[in-house]
Amino acid sequence: MTQILSERRPGAYYDSIILMRLQSALAKLPAVMDAGVAMATAANLALLESNDLLPEGATVAPEDLLVVVKADSAAAAEAALSEVDNLLDRRRAGPGSDYRPRSLENAAKMLPEASWVLVSVPGRYAAEVAGRALDQGKHVFLYSDNVVLADEVALKRRARALGLLVMGPDCGTAIVGGVCLGFANRVRRGTIGLVGASGTGLQAVTCKIHRLGAGISHALGTGGRDLGAEVAAVTTLQALELLGRDTETEIVVLISKPPSTTVASQVLAAAQRVGKPVVVEFIGYPPPGRRLGNICFASGLDEAAELAVELAHKGRSDEHCLLDTSSKATPNEGRFVRGLFAGGTLAYEALLGFRTFLQPLYSNISVSNVAADSVHPLTDPTRSVAHTVLDLGEDEYTVGRLHPMMDQDLRLRRLRQEASDPEVGMIVLDVVLGYGAHADPASELAPVIREISAQHSIDVMVLVIGTEDDPQDLEAQVERLQQAGAIVFRESFEMVAAVHRRYHSPAPEEPSVPVSLDGLAAPIAAINIGLETFHEGLLAQEAPVVHVDWRPPAGGNEKLAAILRRLRPQTE
Domains, the chain, with CATH or none: 3-92 (3.30.70), 98-170+513-553 (3.40.50.720), 172-326+505-510 (3.40.50.261), 336-503 (3.40.50.261)
Residue 349 to residue 361: CA distance in whole angstroms: 14
pLDDT of residue 371: 52
Inter-CA distances, 106 with 252, 366, 551, Å: 37, 60, 14
The DSSP secondary structure of 3-45, one letter per residue, reads EEEEEEETT----HHHHHHHHHHHHTSTTEEEEEEEE--HHHH
- Give the predicted TM-score (pTM) of the model: 0.78
Residue 117's pLDDT is what? 98
**Mean pLDDT value across residues 330-335:** 58
Q: Give Rg (Cα) of the chain.
A: 30
What band does 571 get if pLDDT is binned at 50, 70 and 90? very low
Convert the pLDDT of each residue in 513-522 to its tens digit: 999 999 999 8
> In angstroms, what CA-CA distances link 186 with 89, 192, 211, 367, 388?
30, 15, 12, 43, 48
What is the per-residue pLDDT for 508?
Answer: 53
Which of residues 97 and 425 earns the better pLDDT score?
425
Question: Mapped to the 3 state alphabet, what secondary structure does 167-189 carry?
Answer: ECCCCCEEEECCEEEECCCCCCE
Q: Is the pLDDT of residue 21 over 90?
A: no
pLDDT tens for 362-378 read 999 876 554 556 789 99
Separation CA 116–CA 129 (nearest Å): 13
Give residue 186's pLDDT: 94
Average pLDDT, the chain: 87
Taking alpha carbons only, the member of 474, 415, 456 closest to residue 329 is: 456
